[in-house]
Structures are given as C-alpha cells and as structure tokens.
Amino acid sequence: MKALRVGLLTTAYLFASLAFASPASTLEQKNKNIEFSINKAMEAFQVPGVAVAIVKDNKIVMSKGFGLTEYGTSHKVNGDTLFGIASNTKAMTAALLANLVDQDKLTWQTKVIDIIPEFQMPDAYVTREFTISDLLSHNSGLGLGAGDLMIWPGTSLNNQDIIKGLKHLPEVSSFRSEFAYDNLMYVIAGEIIAKITGKSWHDHIKETIFQPLGMNKTKAAFSLISANNKNVARAHVPLDGKLNVVGGNFLEQFSSAGSVASSVNDMSLWLKAQLNKGAYGKDEKLFSERQSHNMWQMKTILPVSDRATKNNKTHFSGYALGWFVKDYHGVKLVHHSGGILGMVSKVVLVPEENLAMVILTNQQSGYAFNAIYHQILNEYLELPEKNWVDFYHEMSKKRKAAEKNRLAEVAGNVDKNSRHSLPLKAYAQTYTDDWYGDITINYANNALTMQFGNTPALHGTLEHYQHNTFVVRWDDRTLEADAFVNFNLNPDGSINYATMKAVSRATDFSFDFHDLKLKVKN
C-alpha cells in the first residue's frame, strides 16, 4: 500500500502542470484545478474523505464529496454527508446572539451577570464587567483552552458545573489584553441564549438558523442524527501510518462552542446568508446588516509575522465575534477552522469578492484543508501559481521531525538513575482540583493507574520518568495526549499536591492538564 501511494503521488506530480491554468481560467477550469488539489491533498495527508462547497456571486459553483466516509469501506462522501463542523459552530452562536440584539432582547454590552447571576470569574472586577461581546472575543484573561477538560473528552459535568468551575481557573493575562482561544465562554454564550429565549440552544439554533435556511440535514449535535442516516462521516486518527476510526457523538458538551454536524450542501446555504449579510429568501433576515458588520469587526488583536506580510500581504489579523479576520493579498478574509478528534474543517469568506467556501474532512490533518482553501483562493483571486499541497506537505514533515528531535533531546536529559522518593503505593490516593473535581490514582500488581473521575476516557498507566515525575500513558492511544505527572512533597515526605503537563507540544490544547492543581483529598 505504501509503494502504491508513492507511485500515485509521483504520477500526480508528473501531471501537475496540467492542473494549474492561467489566471483567466474559466469556472470549469477553476473547478478542475481545485479538484486536482483536493485529491492530491487527500493522498499526501492520508485523508479518506473530503467535502467542499464554493459560493461565488450568490451561486453555488461547487458542492460535492470526494473519497470515502470511512476508510476501508465503499461508502462515498457526497454533498449531503454529515461531518462535525466543530468550532465553525461558534459563528452560528454569534449569529443567534446578533439576532437577539436586533430584537432588542440584549446588547453586545449587556453584562453576563445580569442574565446569569452565578457567573463568576477569578477576579471580581472581571466578573462585574464581563459582557456578551467578551464571551465571543477570546480575551478573558484565562489561558488557551482553559477548563476544556470539563467538557472534553466527554464528561459527566454539565453547564452549571462549568459556571461553578470558572472562578477557580488560573488567569494568565489581564482582562481584554491578550488573545487565548476559549471554548467555555461560548458554552456560556449558549446558556445566555437559552435564558433569553426560554429554549435550549439546540432547539433555538434549529428554529432560527437551520429551518429558515433549509439546512434540513444539519443537526445541533451528533446524538440528534437519526440512526437510519448512514451518510455520516467517521473520524480517523493516523497512528504509525495506519488510519484508526474513532469517535461517536462528538463534542456533545461543547454544544454552542462546537457540536454542530452539517454537510457542504447545507453549509453552502449558510455561506450565502453570510455573504448576503444575514439576508435569505425574499425579505427574510437572520440578522441585520449592522450586526453582520459588528460580527466581522476585530475585537482582539493577533500578531502578524514578517513572513506573513511578505508572502501573503497580511498586515492585520485578529478575532471578531465568532470569526477570525485578516487581510490577504489585498482582500479581507473572514474565516474559522474547526477541529475534533479525527475530523477538521475550514470556512472562509471573502466578502469583497462575494466568495465563500467550506471544507469538511474526516481526518485531523489541518494541512489538508489549508492546502485546499489556499488553492481555491489562488483560483478565484487569480494569484501567482503555487503548489500548496507540496508547501504544506514539507511543513508537516519539518514540524514532525522537529518535535521528534525535541522529545529525543528531552529523553536524553532524563536522569535514568533517579528513583521516586516514596513507595509506589504511597502515590495511590484520590486527588482533587477546584475546577475539575476528583482524579484517582490506584495501585495494583506493583503498578499505578490514573482515572479522571468525570472523564471515563482518561484512564491510563503511570510509568516512572525521573525523580517524582511520572508519565501517564492513556489506554486510548488515539487521544495522543500522554502527560507528565509531577508530585510535590511536603517537608515530612508526604505528598502535597501534583501537577500535570502534556508530553508533546502537538497535544491538542483542549487537554489543559497544565491548569490542574491536584491536592490530596482528605
């Protein structure tokens, strides 16, 4: 199979010159070039299935599937295949709030505590000043992915537990000063919507967005998909060159932050409404043109590298309300990506060109969707020819090699002659964290195992690393989230507390082990 893959790629490269047309290419030629890049990206990054829709000048010029819904089967992806869109849900939640602003049921500056009195941040001033706009802007002062272990992988905690846990999360910057991607605030945004409307977020998004736009296949969560619907993409995680099918009901507890399942046929209707600034049908509107403008205005600034300015003509970048925004070769991009275990997606709007696209995939390679959307931009913005698949393929190899070398260097510095200070059995206790809850370490057969009390999937074996640091290796290897567990001792030699940190920098940031402080439970 490996030899066959290499042969196919080689053949693809030989014919690459046929796949890139001149800037003045026709729509037919544009689509041909894009489809070539999609197939090439699937081969290069080991992606079983992709679906793509493109909207141009209020027309759907492409909406189709490529490859398979599940590796090793004959089930083909088509325009109606459902994928998890993950954080591309956030723009929909922002749109629901915009709709409520249009109805004068709240404003972007409404204080969260006026609707959810129990809302409490670590700092009293921040609690008092936190607004609806702040919920969507990723500048709360909390860290990247702070508290995500309350909702990922699937836990027994609910939204009220999340609200209670917020005040115990560590602050890493001052309020509204820095960008740090935060899912929990979007979950709370969903609670705001439920409080204002008297309906669950799931029901409200169905009635306010899906049904009016005709997004009839789209569901607010995977668990709402009919068991009879077999046209659902399965997620895949590559391990040691082999694809592993994973997951089931993805991101149920992310709800308003990331639980929607949709297809490119349905998402193309959402793209049209976005480009039309909320308008759809004859005279209907999801939200006003004014709110469209508000949602596309930068709220939190992101840095721009010299390389981005030189190569992509990017001079500004930031986060708006449910969307990232930046300039790219002279036009403004409004965009977002979404990622869950084994499945990633991308939505890009180019309002000045009346152009939009959505890319859904059933493997977790962001390199694939990046290559595809940049190729689409090349075609429609008539930019200089560039082989984006090769570009991202090289980037992927370099980053993997760099992380492999880093881990090897770290391993080389381990004191292999060190011993843990206490007998293994002494580490076996129940620990508790103020925002997460209980985590238990058990001892049996001269080995330690760890179980997160609210997260069944987080069960693994502790291996001694050095001194009083262990590594927990999770039973489910597709999580790719092994973590250091470091025990801090009291002067008398008893355990004071334990901390955790992901071993690899490639670990998804939603495994925010570093935010835990595990105290021995009395």
Which residues, other chains included, contact 193 with Cβ-Cβ below 8 Å and sequence gap of 6+?
93, 96, 97, 100, 201, 204, 256
In a domain, 229, yes or no: no
**Joined tokens for residue 189:** 């945004």
Top pLDDT among 26 and 355 is at: 355
| Separation between Cα atoms, residue 363 and residue 343, nearest integer Å | 5
Task: Count Cα neighbours of 107 within 13 Å in the Cβ-side half-sphere.
Answer: 3
In a domain, 309, yes or no: no
Q: How many domains does the chain have?
A: 1
| Separation between Cα atoms, residue 90 and residue 113, nearest integer Å | 21
HEC string of 369-423 equals HHHHHHHHHHHHHCCCCCCHHHHHHHHHHHHHHHHHHHHHHHHHCCCCCCCCCCC
C-alpha dist (Å) from residue 458 to 8, 509, 515, 519 = 39, 15, 16, 18
| Separation between Cα atoms, residue 148 and residue 513, nearest integer Å | 9
pLDDT at 483 over 80: yes
In a domain, 447, yes or no: yes
CA 103, 104, 109, 114 dihedral sign is: negative
Query: Any idea what DSSP says for residue 219?
Result: B
Query: What residues does 68 pair with on adjacent strands?
Result: 76
What pLDDT, on a 0 to 100 scale, did the predictor assign at position 20?
Answer: 44
Confidence band for 522, pLDDT divided at 50, 70 and 90? confident
Average pLDDT value for residue range 277-305: 96
In a domain, 125, yes or no: no
pTM greater than the 0.85 cutoff: yes
In a domain, 190, yes or no: no
CA 32, 33, 38, 39 dihedral sign is: positive
pLDDT at 7 over 70: no
In a domain, 473, yes or no: yes
| Separation between Cα atoms, residue 497 and residue 475, nearest integer Å | 24
The 10s digit of each residue's pLDDT in 17-73 is 334 444 457 999 999 999 999 999 999 999 999 999 999 999 999 999 999 999 999
504: CATH: 2.40.128.50
What percent of the chain is helix, strand and coil (3-state, nearest 5)?
35, 25, 40
In 3D space, the residue among 344, 384, 378 whose CA is nearest the CA of residue 250 turns out to be 344
Domain span including residue 496: 424-520
| Separation between Cα atoms, residue 44 and residue 51, nearest integer Å | 16
Give the range among 111-115, 120-124, 219-223, 401-405 with minimum mean pLDDT. 401-405
Confidence band for 249, pLDDT divided at 50, 70 and 90? low
From the centroid of its chain, how far is CA 55?
23
The per-residue pLDDT of the chain, averaged, comes to 93
In a domain, 430, yes or no: yes
The 10s digit of each residue's pLDDT in 170-220 is 999 999 999 999 999 999 999 999 999 999 999 999 999 999 999 999 999
In a domain, 205, yes or no: no
Q: Under DSSP, is residue 207 helix (H, G, I), strand (E, B) or coil?
A: helix
Q: Quote the percentage of the chain above a pLDDT of 70.
A: 95
pLDDT at 12 over 80: no
| Separation between Cα atoms, residue 383 and residue 22, nearest integer Å | 10
